[in-house]
Structure 1
């Protein structure tokens, strides 16, 4: 059940009837007509913009359309009153029985309430984390991992066929640096003094890798030149780092469907195939780029390069895809990787990048547009930086990592559920302050606690019902006469429950899982308000002494709240709690 969608259906039916009767011109496009909660709850329960968006194409005044539409809707038993406001908005008030029907639907549908077929089974590839395999995941990767995983769950909930994918950046120079770093730890394991120079990685996490390499090859590589060990140590170290990364992801309950190796693109003809595809479309040429905007570097000189005509697909400048020595630029394998994703039949690609990849967005979008002939859209989400605080001070770096704060540091401090929820309390492109003290507070200011506390309160109510021998299973509560739920505070909760299916579709359409976290906080707030009013008024308490029917009706509402909170937390990857400790 989606009450907002049902009422929108009533609005469009009325508009179609008006077109058939000649009150409106035929053939009007109704796709922009919406039904949503009004900004001011005092204006009604729902509002439609129908008259505003149809006035110009219909050649009529908005208020005239709104008044005619109001007359049509007056016969709908779910709508108790209509009011034309301002230049032509139409506010609607909904019968309390319709809100009670929402509660019954939540209990009847259970975890399926709010699920949507909006995605229609379209195949979506969500690529996220994709960190260089050179060390443990840091706090920036943590935000990207949580965001990407929650987005994938949201899209699945909205009816898409989702693949979670990690792109292993193991084809560049950074893995050679990793191999040299591991080699130093290998020599250290053999008792030698070593110095980390040339950008090598000094983190303690490589000590065990060096020792494992010693266990595997003994002293075979000791004091040997790179030509004897670099390739083997690179593969060994990369696999060790990927195992570490998998362990880090598992701490957050993130499980990928697929790991794709950049290295698999080299020497296999895959890069060449992607570039040939662009060549066939006339998008690869030899040319000279303009100098960089702003101050031109002293060593800059114009030179002919192999370029991708990305400006034909919305980029600011064309992009080099081959260096002067004939080797590929870093952009070429990324083109090939997305060509591979397109060839796997995905209908939509989503890339989750770090904040430092903002300049990469247009070129990647242009590449996907060119490779798919505009058929496959790609949405690139940038996750902004996370600042960590503890005791009012910036959180210090981890010695284990060497230069940064790890995912493991964060999870060890507050646990995976708090980590995941807090990472979704801001939109992905907004900076996030993560205060270890505040996220563990038991107060309304802490959204994790506030939502979990609502679920725990419902669980305590249901335990009390069980102790009292009151039937409180979902089927029984769904079949209960809910007419007793008529107070403003009760209806506020029911109205918020009605918004859940609509919220899911909006969040999935915009690829914004933070909307789920915001919604859960609002739902918890409405529920806590009802709970507190019940402390003051006996008629709002969930247990009505001597009246089993009224008690079951009252119990239906918190139980429905728990169903939706559980569903929302599942999307976020957070486990609901039954009691606070």
Structure 2
């Protein structure tokens, strides 16, 4: 189904058509720049349904004052039957009140477009690579990964809905020292599976019980072949074996949250393909990498720091406090060196890059963005690159910090969370605050049946709608748009709230902020509950009126469309729209 124009976009086109008419009438110059003209809801709904700044931003080009230009604009707009009134406010803003018929057509559009309502073509098919999670393959997914995983996945879905072609990517850090540690830890569990008493896991290795199944699988795969073999014979084999099984575990854990990636890119494969060397060659050619002495870390004196000549990226050109090495003294690539090559690889297949990182990586943002800008320029195209930083989550239970997980021994896993409160609660809760804001996840509060719990409040709105429609059907009353003209002011207010959804989708996608959808859903649920509760004090405001089936059918049609908008929004967040609670 093709994307529809929002009611706001449709009226933006009407305003633009008026401006074209004013050009024809010589009230605006032919080369008038309209880029800053906006049509959007006013901050105060009392001022109208829509407002435009057209007269304010174009008056200088028209060589007149804003109010005078606004008069010309209003003269044209007032002829439109969908515009009930057009008034000048303040120095030259124009407030519009739309006809009831315009809003009722929007209600019918929601019903007609169904799960396509809000879908946009704003992305114009541009390819966006969203990289998220990218946890080291050394253990199960835990709470340190959960928020970024949900933020990245919801953002990818939002961008698709807004017309982008999205690739969901996971970068597997399988080339660092942590993978050597994983292999050695797995080999101990392998010997244990063969019957050896391995005792306590040595300091510096991974002690978690999650490696026991890996050791058992290795025993089944290799028998006693590596039981007493020197490390040189088994290290590379166990690295690959353990990483593969850890990634299976990670995929399984992510699946509990409804998360699947399109690509799992290997750092080891990247290095084997010579991508870091390619990146270094290009950067040297453009004088962005040079051989120099690495400055001593802060707090180090010349007596306890030995200067080593290393290939350095000119980070200081881009605001960093010192140039950064892309290789270590042993010739291995630094994480930064491998990372910039990885981004170069991603840029080859995308029009824009988005990374979801933990807030502890904030210091890396400026230099990696500088490196990506340089490398993408070398490919003959500027690649927009956005990094979203996600704060950690403090786990609580009734206001008290949560104790360690028994299953993993030293952290709370995603599996632990989903098992206790469910996927939907975890996902929605992670999107109830901006990613860069601190968050507490209280196991007791996130399952409360109260208005203060956004997850419950939104899902309850959908379940309430479903229950009402089911009850009406039992009484022989079905939703119908035959008598929508009978809907009153309260009904229209709810339509106006729901009709914000397409505009919110485009704005959220443009800002790369999926949490805006969660905020919108909470506001819409609040508006619905308030609307529904009107019938508690005034029986004529009830949705189902036994004495007036035609008005009931119109109100049922209204709440059915509200349910559709809620479903569409929850789908973007990866949350199910429940029918019973």
Shorter-normalised TM-score: what interval? over 0.9
SS where residue 326 of structure 2 aligns? strand
SS where residue 141 of structure 2 aligns? coil
Residue by residue over 1:341-367, the C-alpha shift from the partner in whole angstroms, topping out at 9 and shown as x without a partner, is 1222x1111111111111111122112
CA 1:101–1:315 in structure 2 vs 1: closer, same or farther (change >3 Å)?
farther
Tell me, yes or no, if the aligned pair for 2:478 and 2:556 is still in contact at 8 Å: no
Q: Is residue 2:270 matched to residue 1:265? A: yes
Partners of 2:241 and 2:526 in 1: how far apart? 52
Contiguous gaps of at least 5 residues in structure 2: none
Q: 1:455 aligns with which of 441, 462, 471?
A: 462
Partners of 1:480 and 1:314 in 2: how far apart? 63
Instruction: Give 1:304 deviation, angstroms.
Output: 2.8
Residue correspondence of structure 1 range 415-426 to structure 2 within 5 A: 415-426=422-433
Residue correspondence of structure 1 range 399-478 to structure 2 within 5 A: 399-472=406-479, 477=480
| Cross-structure match for 1:179 | 183
Q: 1:247 aligns with which of 252, 258, 266?
A: 252
Partners of 1:187 and 1:518 in 2: how far apart? 52
Instruction: Give 1:290 deviation, angstroms.
Output: 5.0
Partners of 1:571 and 1:203 in 2: how far apart? 35
Q: 2:290 aligns with which of 285, 302, 319?
A: 285
Tell me, yes or no, if the aligned pair for 1:278 and 1:284 is still in contact at 8 Å: yes
Instruction: Give 1:312 deviation, angstroms.
Output: 5.0
Instruction: Give 1:535 deviation, angstroms.
Output: 2.5
Task: Kindly indicate whether structure 1 or structure 2 has the higher relative contact order, using CA contacts under 8 Å at least 6 residues apart.
Answer: 1
Tell me, yes or no, if the aligned pair for 2:120 and 2:163 is still in contact at 8 Å: yes
Range with bigger deviation, 313-322 or 75-84: 313-322
Residue correspondence of structure 1 range 487-498 to structure 2 within 5 A: 487=489, 489-498=490-499
Instruction: Give 1:319 deviation, angstroms.
Output: 2.5
- What RMSD in Å do the two structures reach over aligned CA positions? 1.9
Tell me, yes or no, if the aligned pair for 1:116 and 1:158 is still in contact at 8 Å: yes
| Cross-structure match for 1:556 | 557
| Cross-structure match for 2:340 | 335
SS where residue 162 of structure 1 aligns? strand
Tell me, yes or no, if the aligned pair for 2:487 and 2:551 is still in contact at 8 Å: no
Residue by residue over 1:361-382, the C-alpha shift from the partner in whole angstroms, topping out at 9 and shown as x without a partner, is 1122112211111521111111
Tell me, yes or no, if the aligned pair for 1:177 and 1:200 is still in contact at 8 Å: yes
Range with bigger deviation, 277-286 or 28-37: 277-286
| Cross-structure match for 2:159 | 155
SS where residue 167 of structure 1 aligns? strand
Partners of 2:91 and 2:403 in 1: how far apart? 56
Q: 1:98 aligns with which of 96, 99, 102?
A: 102
Q: Is residue 2:78 matched to residue 1:74? A: yes
Contiguous gaps of at least 5 residues in structure 1: none
Instruction: Give 1:425 deviation, angstroms.
Output: 0.3
Tell me, yes or no, if the aligned pair for 1:102 and 1:497 is still in contact at 8 Å: no
Tell me, yes or no, if the aligned pair for 1:204 and 1:399 is still in contact at 8 Å: no
| Cross-structure match for 1:236 | 241
Partners of 2:420 and 2:292 in 1: how far apart? 53
Range with bigger deviation, 534-543 or 520-529: 534-543
Instruction: Give 1:265 deviation, angstroms.
Output: 1.4
SS where residue 470 of structure 2 aligns? helix
Q: 1:194 aligns with which of 195, 199, 203?
A: 199
Partners of 1:297 and 1:463 in 2: how far apart? 76
**Normalising by the residue count of structure 1, what TM-score does the alignment of the two structures yield?**
0.94
Partners of 1:437 and 1:128 in 2: how far apart? 28
SS where residue 202 of structure 1 aligns? coil
Instruction: Give 1:338 deviation, angstroms.
Output: 1.4
The number of aligned residues is 572
| Cross-structure match for 2:223 | 218
Instruction: Give 1:538 deviation, angstroms.
Output: 3.2
